[in-house]
Amino acid sequence: MARNTSPAMIADYETKLISKKVLAEKLHQLVEQLSKKENE
């Protein structure tokens, strides 16, 4: 980001980020679903 980006904008952006734990869980679920479809 640009150096002149306001702290309020950065804070707003950070609140919209998905936590890495949630992303990892979703990725794991997706991999499980795809592997189940391949085994059918």
> Model confidence over 2-39: pLDDT tens digits?
677 788 888 887 777 788 899 999 999 999 999 988 88
Spatial separation of the C-alpha atoms in residues 10 and 6, rounded to whole Å? 7
**Which pTM was predicted?**
0.52
Burial environment of residue 7 by CB neighbours within 10 A (0 to 12, 13 to 18, 19 or more): exposed
Nearest partner of 26 among 14, 36, 34, judged by Cα: 34
What's the pLDDT score for residue 28? Answer: 95
The per-residue pLDDT for 31 is 93
Over 60: is that where the pLDDT of 1 sits?
Answer: no
